[in-house]
Amino acid sequence: MFKRLQTKLTVLYAGLFALALSLVAVSVYLTIANNAQQQVRGELAATGTVFDSVWALRTQRLRDGADLLSRDFGFRAAVATRDAPTVDSAVTNLRQRMGLELAFMVGIDGDVVGVDPAKIDIGKLWSALDHEDGAQGVFVVDGAPYQLISAPVMSPNLTGWIVFGARLDDREMTALEQLAAIRLDAQVFDRRGETWVTTDKTADAKALGALVATATAAGKAVSAPTRLRTAAGDNLVLVKRLKTLDGQTPAALVLRYPMALAMAPYQPLMAAVFIAVLAGAALVVAASWALSRDIARPIAALEDAARRLRRGEAVHVDVRSSDEIGHLSDSFNLMAAEIREREVRITELALRDAETGLPNHLAMEREIEARMARLAPGEQVVVGALGLDRFTVLRSAIGYALFNQLVAEIGARIQVIDPEAVVGRLTTSTLCVISRLTALTDEIVPHIEKALVDLAAPVRLGGELVDVHMTNGLAAAEAGTIDAPRLIEQAMIALDQARACGRKVSIFDAAAYGDPASNLSLMSEMLQGVATGALFLHHQPKLDLRSGAITGLEALVRWAHPTRGLLRPDLFVGMAEETGHIRALTDCVIDRAILDQRALREVGHDLTISINISGRLIDDAEFADRAIEKIAAAGARFCFEITETAVIGNPDVALGVLAKLNAAGIPVSIDDYGSGLSSLAYLKQINAEELKIDKAFVLSLENDAKDALLVKSTIDLAHSLGLKVTAEGVESRQALAMLQMMGCDLAQGYHIARPMALDKLVVFLGDWQISNPLPVGEGGARRAAVGG
């Protein structure tokens, strides 16, 4: 009913107290009323007694008068002689002397002298007088009750009765009322027929008459004082039977006292009690309101705190009392603090990478969001995804624990290079770097490449030095353009893009990545392309650096997409690998290469074609069997280019497949050498024929002495293992010359020729043949480089 505890308590306290006060007030009232009634009863009884003596006195006085007259000789003579005028004058004379209302003479024959006989019931009167000597009592004369008294007149025999009467009227009763100690009301009632009547003019005569009727019916001379409630108020009434003259028509004295009058003296006391009750109740309401507020306020504060705690706010309830509520508040505060502490710990755990202690993916997202919120217009948050190359190999080589240590160490190194950067861990092998840069431009790339060299210094782990190789993808965004998870995703994609094109550092290339939504449908379109011939090959010539002849080709797949135009393999090869469609794609490439090789043979160019075989296929024995069969059937001369990571990723099955290829006379070339973590021991196991130095090293050959040294030592090493060496990514005359000097066997690159369609290739090969052994291409520079 009451929502608030304070109201509830107040109403309860005040209600209980008011009830108690009311009980006190009622009992005080009842006691007072009882007392007053008791007093009035006594008073009524006393007045009754007083009336008795008044009655007796008057009876005596009347009797004395009557006796005096009855014995008077003259009077008796007048009666005897029936001298009416004399009798009348004697009676009147005495009546006046005695100050009586009524005096008359009744003869034994029923004659009445001194009063109008019409006013009296002569029959009743006569028989009453005759019945008793000196009869007295109430008798109604002329409609009003009188106390009559009679005395016989003997002359010498009974000649009649002298009757004196005093009227029992208002005046008489007022005299009686004045004798009483209390202001009561006295009336005489007599019965006329069935009803009791009074000459008094009281408003409630009817109700009183009824009361008199029941009281007299009980037969008692004096009734007990009875309560009578009438419209005029509450009364206490005493009924006293009066002796009547004829003994037939009953009469009664009624003494009435209004209770209001009895209670009047107590009114100030009652008022005082009432005021005290009211004041007490008001005081209790105020006090219990204050008290319950003291109780309710801390409870409300606790409730509010609990609500805020639920919302995750830090709360403290300030209640300084030593009672249960105080204890409860203390416990609550303790609990809230513990929850808070636990929450902080949980949040901390949720934001940390357990293995390295670095901030995790979520923490990095939050950091990016925080930075975005602080960016000035035009500024960007720059995020790098730094991937450890060939991590599975590395991890299985050094163990999980040391690998995690390695990741942590790299994180620490980044922090040394850029103390303002925030470094976290995105995946097992990828770190995230949020740098202090506020813009991402191509100029930054060389700086980062340089930093990567410092980062890649061998790490000492468990007493051994471990080489690390890293690739970095970069992405940047202004505030409000993309959200943090998307920015990290872009950095990761940039990392994949860098790896795909063999770079150390790449900035996210949205155009190359395409639209992820449409990329999904790309695969089904690609399968269609395989069927319809939308997929075809471009071939890139391989130049023999000793003979100057084009001795081989690398088949590079192309896709003429119906709406998106010519698509580069970067866009769909990776996706085909991920979605399990790489086999269909490779089968298609092999079929096309067989056709292209046949076409070239027909125009006089018998060249080995290198086919790129995805790592996902190198452990697919079924694929290998079918390819070998197909190649053998067509009499094709192919070389399989595989990336070293793929081989080492699934060593056992892959080595079996490689052995089969060897047996079938299909040479294997190690592609992208140097982009991963190299293991020369494996190169020997693979039994490869060729090593292709990754274009990342070749591209920087002229500018980077370290790379030159690396390429040179790789060539020497490969030769010592009996491998031919191809350098890919040869874009300049200088690079070509350097490679030639280093003893590199073959070169491939834009400087020699771009990958091209079959018809262009035929023209190119024709031109090249004419100028062989010193080939003429776009200019003499190339020829000079190769030849010199």
Q: Which residues bind ligand C2E (CB under 6 A)?
A: 540, 556-557, 568-570, 573, 586, 589, 612, 614, 671-672, 695, 728-731, 748-750, 755
Chosen from ligand C2E, Ca ion, none, partner binding at 702 (C-beta under 5 to 8 Å by type): none
Pick 76 or 542: Cβ nearer Ca ion: 542
Nearer to Ca ion, 230 or 748 (CB): 748
Beta carbon of residue 712, minimum distance to ligand C2E (angstroms, whole number): 19
The answer to the question of residue 246 lying near Ca ion (CB under 5 A) is no
Which H or E element spans position 671? strand 668-673
List the x/- string, 699-738, binding to Ca ion by CB under 5 A. -----------------------------x----------
Mark the segment that binds Ca ion (CB under 5 A) among 258-266, 360-368, 664-672, 766-774: 664-672
**For strand 380-388 and strand 422-427, is the pairing parallel, antiparallel, or unpaired?**
unpaired
Q: How many residues bind Ca ion (CB under 5 A)?
A: 5
Distances (CA, A) of 248 to 18, 219, 326: 59, 14, 89
Q: How far apart are the first and last CA of the chain?
A: 106
Query: CB count, 10 Å around CB of 168?
Result: 28
Six-digit token string for 349: 């755990």
What does 225 interact with, of Ca ion, ligand C2E, none (CB < 5 to 8 A by kind)?
A: none
Q: Does 690 engage in binding with Ca ion (CB under 5 A)?
A: no
Q: Closest residue to ligand C2E, Cβ-based?
A: 749
State the minimum distance, in angstroms, from the CB of residue 553 to Ca ion. 11
Q: For residues 51 and 697, which CB has a smaller minimum distance to Ca ion in the complex?
A: 697
| Rounded Cα–Cα distance for residues 610 and 613 (Å) | 9
Q: 596 or 641, CB closer to Ca ion?
A: 641
- Does 525 bind Ca ion (CB under 5 A)? Our answer is no
Distance in angstroms (rounded) separating the CA atoms of residues 566 and 569 = 10
* Between 277 and 543, CB nearer to Ca ion: 543
Residue 329's binding partner out of Ca ion, ligand C2E, none, with CB under 5 to 8 Å set by partner kind: none
Partner interacting with residue 552 (select from Ca ion, ligand C2E, none; CB below 5-8 Å by kind)? none
Binds 353: which of ligand C2E, Ca ion, none (CB < 5-8 Å by kind): none
Instruction: Choose among Ca ion, ligand C2E, none what residue 404 binds, the Cβ cut-off being 5 to 8 Å by kind.
Output: none
Report d(CA 766, CA 451) in Å as an integer: 46
Q: At 214, is the secondary structure helix, strand, or coil?
A: helix
- The nearest distance, CB 625 to ligand C2E, in angstroms, is 18
Which of Ca ion, ligand C2E, none sits in contact with 137, Cβ below 5 to 8 A by type? Answer: none
Is 612 one of the binding residues for Ca ion (CB under 5 A)? yes
Least Cα distance to 109 among 117, 101, 97 occurs for: 117
To ligand C2E, the closest distance from the beta carbon of 375 in angstroms equals: 34
Q: In terms of CB distance, is 280 or 574 closer to ligand C2E?
A: 574
Minimum CB distance to ligand C2E smaller for 105 or for 589: 589
What are the C-alpha distances in Å from 384 to residues 100, 213, 439, 450?
Answer: 139, 119, 12, 15
β-bridge pairing 233-242 and 251-258 = antiparallel
Is the CB of 56 or the CB of 757 nearer to Ca ion?
A: 757
CA separation for the pair 98, 149 (Å, rounded): 14
Write each residue from 669 to 688 as x if it is in contact with Ca ion (CB under 5 A), else as -, in one continuous string: --xx----------------
Distance CA 285, CA 505 (A): 81
**Residue nearer to ligand C2E on the CB measure, 167 or 695:** 695
Note the Cα 430 to chain centre separation in Å: 40
Nearest distance from C-beta of residue 754 to ligand C2E, angstroms:
7
Cis peptide preceding 298, ω within 30 of 0: no
In the region spanning residues 622 to 641, those forming contacts with Ca ion, defined by CB under 5 A, are 641
Which lies closer to Ca ion via its Cβ, residue 69 or residue 696? 696
Question: Which of Ca ion, ligand C2E, none does residue 570 bind to, with CB < 5 to 8 Å depending on kind?
Answer: ligand C2E
Closest separation in Å from C-beta 612 to ligand C2E: 4
Sheet holding 185-192, edge to edge: 195-198, 185-192, 251-258, 233-242, 226-230
Q: Please say which residue, 240 or 542, places its beta carbon nearer to ligand C2E.
A: 542
Q: Among Ca ion, ligand C2E, none, what does residue 749 contact (CB within 5–8 Å per kind)? A: ligand C2E
Q: For Ca ion, give the closer residue by CB, 496 or 671.
A: 671
Q: CA-CA distance, 786 to 767, in Å (whole number)?
A: 16
| DSSP output for 395-463 | HHHH-HHHHHHHHHHHHHHHHHH-TT-EEEEEETTEEEEE-S-S---TTHHHHHHHHHHHHTS-EEETT
The pairs formed by 286-295 with CB atoms below 8 angstroms and a separation of 24 or more are: 287/13, 288/9, 288/10, 288/12, 288/13, 288/14, 288/17, 289/6, 289/10, 291/9, 291/13, 292/5, 292/6, 292/7, 292/8, 292/9, 292/10, 292/13, 293/6, 295/5, 295/6, 295/9, 295/325
To ligand C2E, the closest distance from the beta carbon of 766 in angstroms equals 21
**Whose CA is closest to 661, among 633, 632, 699?**
632
Q: Which residues bind Ca ion (CB under 5 A)?
A: 612, 641, 671-672, 728
